[in-house]
Amino acid sequence: MNIVGLITEYNPFHNGHLHHIKEAKRITGADAVLVIMSGNFVQRGAPAIMPKHLRAKAALESGADVILELPVCFATGSAESFAAGSINLLNHLGCIDSVCFGSECGDLSALDRIAHVTADEPEEYRLMLKQELQQGKAFPVARQQALKHYFQDGFLDTLLEHPNNILGIEYLKALYQSDSSIKPYTIKRILSGYHDQELTERFSSASAIRNCLSSSLTESASVESLLQLKGQVPDASFQLFCETFQNRYPVFANDFSLLLKYRLLCVSRESLSHFLDVSEDLANRIYNRRNQFISFDQFCELLKTRELTYTRISRALLHILLGITKNDLRTFSKQGGCQYARLIGFRKDSREILTEIQRHTSIPLLSKLTKTDQLSSVGLSMLRQDLFASDLYESVLTEKFKTPFISEYCQQIIRV
Euclidean distance between CA atoms 411 and 248, whole angstroms: 13
- The answer to whether 246 touches 56, Cβ cutoff 8 Å, is no
What value, to the nearest 5°, has the Cα angle with vertex 159 and ends 306 and 134?
35
Tell whether residue 17 is among the known ligand binding residues: yes
* 263 residue type, one letter: R
Tell whether residue 13 is among the known ligand binding residues: yes
- The answer to whether 403 touches 397, Cβ cutoff 8 Å, is yes
Tell whether residue 190 is among the known ligand binding residues: yes
Tell whether residue 9 is among the known ligand binding residues: yes
128-136, Cβ contacts within 8 angstroms, sequence gap of 24 or more: 136/306, 136/307
Euclidean distance between CA atoms 388 and 46, whole angstroms: 15
Strand partners of residue 37 = 8, 69
Question: Looking at the chain, how many residues does it have?
Answer: 416
Number of Cβ within a 10 Å radius of residue 308: 17
Tell whether residue 15 is among the known ligand binding residues: yes
Tell whether residue 16 is among the known ligand binding residues: yes
Tell whether residue 359 is among the known ligand binding residues: no
Euclidean distance between CA atoms 234 and 18, whole angstroms: 8
Tell whether residue 8 is among the known ligand binding residues: yes
For 246, list phi and psi in degrees, rounded to 5. Answer: 60, 20
b/e code 177-199 from CB counts within 10 Å (16+ = b): eeebebebebbebeebeeebeeb
Tell whether residue 10 is among the known ligand binding residues: yes
Tell whether residue 288 is among the known ligand binding residues: no
Parallel, antiparallel, or unpaired: how do β-strands 98-103 and 41-42 relate? Answer: unpaired
Task: Please report, in angstroms and rounded to a whole number, the separation of the first and last CA atoms in the chain.
Answer: 21
Distances in whole angstroms, Cα of residue 107 to Cα of each of 84, 104, 121, 187, 293: 21, 9, 22, 8, 43
Tell whether residue 18 is among the known ligand binding residues: yes
> Which of 11, 18, 7, 23 shows the shortest CA–CA distance to 59?
18
- The answer to whether 341 touches 37, Cβ cutoff 8 Å, is no
Euclidean distance between CA atoms 249 and 198, whole angstroms: 21
Tell whether residue 274 is among the known ligand binding residues: no
Tell whether residue 20 is among the known ligand binding residues: yes
Tell whether residue 92 is among the known ligand binding residues: no
Tell whether residue 414 is among the known ligand binding residues: no
Tell whether residue 355 is among the known ligand binding residues: no
Three-state SS at 63: coil
What value, to the nearest 5°, has the Cα angle with vertex 268 and ends 262 and 273?
105
Task: List residues forming the annotated binding site.
Answer: 7-20, 102, 164, 189-190
Task: List residues forming the annotated binding site for ATP.
Answer: 7-20, 102, 164, 189-190
